Structure 1
Amino acid sequence: MREQQPSRSLILTIDDDHMIGLMLHDVLDREGFEVLSVANGRDGIGMINARRPELVLLDVMMPEMDGFECLQLIRKIPGMELLPIVMLTGADDTDSINRSFELGATDFIVKPIHWPTLPHRLRYFLRASSALSELAKSEADLRTAQKIARLGSWDWVVEEDKMEWSDEVFNVLDVAPDEFDGQCRDIYKRLVNADAEKLLQAIGRCAKNKQNFHLECQIRHANGSDNVLLVHGEPIVVGNDVTRIHGTIQDITERRRIEEQIRFLSYYDPLTHLPNRKLFKMILGQAMAYSNLNNAEMSALFISVDRVKRVIETLGPSVGDQIVKLFADRLVAKVQECAYVPVNVGYDANHDYDINQMLVSRVGGDEFVILVSNIKDTSDSIKIAKSVFQVIEQPFSIEEHEIFLSMSIGIAVYPGDGVDEDGFIKNGKVAMSHAREQGQNDYQFFRKSLNVAAFHKLSMENNLQRAIERDELLLFYHAIVNMRTKTVIGCEALIRWQHPELGLVPPSQFIPIAEESGLINYISHWVLESACTQMRQWQQQGLPLQVISINVSSTQFRKDTFADEVSQILARLNLAPGHLKLELTESILLDGIKDVLGTVKQLRALGVQISIDDFGTGYSSLSYLKKLPITELKIDRSFIRDVHLNDDDKAITQAILGLAKSLSLDVVAEGVDHQEQVAFLLQQGCEFAQGFLYSKPLPAAEFAKFVLGFGR
């Protein structure tokens, strides 16, 4: 590869003496310069615009346009302010030399030219020009950086009281340069009085004690706005005296605003402006220390607002945010009404919370905490809890929606329910979870036994995760029979967990855990696919079954893709949709009927049957039965158990059967264990049943044998 040659410096000579032009070209070309030569000023101006030379040799005496006029025109060309221009003049032409410097010439060379030294002088001019250009660029960059940073510099000569400023100082202080007298007192003109005095003292100490200083000051602009300045000073010591103080002035208003915003986001919830989890934990630690020091008790109410996630899923995050904000406002107002101690809530950048006060915090998306110091006994916490429940008595009106919420409250007391912040918070949340399990709008105190239950639940969750990985889940099948013809028409698929240590675990013990942990989605899909696969295998074996029923969880059913998921499984297995029946609880149907209706219609369009499980135990409504294209009702076992003995159960069962007949729905009676129940049901026109009278739930192989042998 050829080594790249260094570029040659471009020299322009402007001289009407043709012989001088030739000599300059010859000498300089041999010395490694690239030379352009023109004979008059106008051509020289044109060449400068076209080629941008690095140095110009300009003759003073030329016809039409002399060197002085040409020099002036060159300096007016943008970017040519620092171009080295060397004038060529006679040795005794002192006036021309002086005038050349006045008009901006870099230097001069007298004629006759001393040719051996000329290249060396030109190289010196070029080096000096390059250094000057770099310096100008650095100064321009510094000015730009100072403008961006809102940073100005100042320099004070102490003995002369002479102050020099950079241009940015005037911008920072919002003053015109002619307003300053060049003395130290100028710096105080825009400061508020108290800060001006502080700065005066700081500069005095700097001059006396030879110490740097940093001081924040407030400046008031003419329009009334206030900005924050950071003034820095550093003494320059000569001998034993401070001769000068060099410093900077920076406008840090935006920095302070950003720092304050970061502080706010670090310690406060941006939606409600309540203390967040981090700040709550800090205050809790102070409250614990106060309780220890004063032998006092305190409590915390951990609040979970139910259904907020459902609101977000249904109506969108904007409505969810509005609900949370309205709830927080109501909660704060309600707590402030309590007659125990005052409340201090909300964002205040300059306020330190008093640990003797009640504090409301938002510690999660739908979780809040009320911290109460100096309680007399647990009855104080109960009174507050009951008062807090009043927050949700009235609906929340958002964008033409009326939304009712419920909540659960867990109460932890210190000392007793935790030795540190983390333990206390954990126990409070355990109590809150326990309250949620008890039903809506309940409160529960923490008990050590709850931790045992929570540990057991966590252990079950971990084991359930491993059960999925190890294929420990299996299906049992419970026969659905026609009591009149004594034939098995189908079955209900029931999930079981074959635990390696606990044995066969019923769904009531692990399905709630699966729902809380999110494992329910995988389990529900597994049940659907496994049951359909088994039904297809039985058909291929010639087993005379008409339908297989599968229980559907709320989480599974509310997936937008659920109907498509069912369709894909049926198509893949080549199972006719009419052989599949999905059992839904009334709670699924009643909680958002509009959303449910679309999915039910999609499933019915496929040909899948829809059954209402445990009918009669929920909030039954004729309106949803009329709207939804369901095919079957299942009478809950609680009505069937004593139907042949109890008049109320008889009346309820007869009413359900009459309703089903009027709506042309099939009916399956659950929990049929006695012939007396069969006789009554057949008399009332109910033909289909499930119960131990016929069979308990069986594994697939045993169920197939049962079907083949039934009625023989």
Structure 2
Amino acid sequence: MGGKATLLVVEDEVFTRKMMGLHLEKAGYRVRAVGNGREALDALEEQGVDMVLADVFMPEMDGPALLEAIRQTWSEQDLPVLMLTSVDDRDKIVEFFTAGANDCITKHKDPAVLLIKIKQHLELSSLRRYAQKAPTEREPEFREPNDGLWKWNLADGKIFFSPRWKGILGFQADELPDHLDTWFSRIHPADFERVSRALRAHQQQQSPHYEADYRVRLKGGNYHWVHDFGIAVFDRKEGRATHMVGAMSWILPRKEWERERKVIANELRVIRGLVHEITPHAHLDPDLHKAVEALGEHFDLLTSKMETLISDDD
């Protein structure tokens, strides 16, 4: 998105509200924080807000009542609302989605998940606005430098790939034709059916958006991982998808990070098991005692490396 997005945080607990605000501001967002639903509606009237993050249980006007009031004026496409729940209550979550929530997030889970969800829904809003424009118009300014957009007319099969999309594959803008085969023929054979299922599911309104991680063939012939997601524009009368617009991003470093984290996590589990077995007998054998100390040092080293990986990802 162009400039900073403005998030409205609706949370009655002062400490939680303050900590969320600091966390979101650190992530680069403008934050307006209020304590209940009535204050939230006043804030929505006073200033432009790009997204609402609403707690469920609040005095005066709780989260569900606020969601209902918001949807009387703003659609899910116009103003995303993320409900912040304290527990994973499946029935309640279904109710929130039915009432018009864009997403539901458990408050006390990894804060990184909240940031990912916020970024994703803001990008979906930008994609919806982009879908209404001509294919050659300037891309929305919410992507990273190496990301690119695509726009697909489902009626006639024509597709437009932005210069940045082609650049991800290693091509200049004039080196690749705007044709479906340009995309589909470059998806790794082992990933193609999964990508196709994800596209069909969204086009048939079985999923809120299209999303897939897959390998794509670059200009040099080698494969690299990308993350692809998008949304469809539906005909209101017939309910069928007429257009899709999406964004492809480079995620090879994330895949490598995930593999390394899994290796370290497995090593940590093995070390814990060894220490658990050896420690009761270490006082009887000096060599066993030294082994426990060595395992402890290696455990500390791996823990430090894991913490570094996590902090680098943030």
TM exceeding 0.5: no
Under a length normalisation based on structure 1, what TM-score does the superposition of the two structures give?
0.18
In our comparison, the structure showing a higher alpha carbon Rg is 1
Under a length normalisation based on structure 2, what TM-score does the superposition of the two structures give?
0.40
Answer 1 or 2: higher relative contact order, Cα 8 Å, separation at least 6.
2
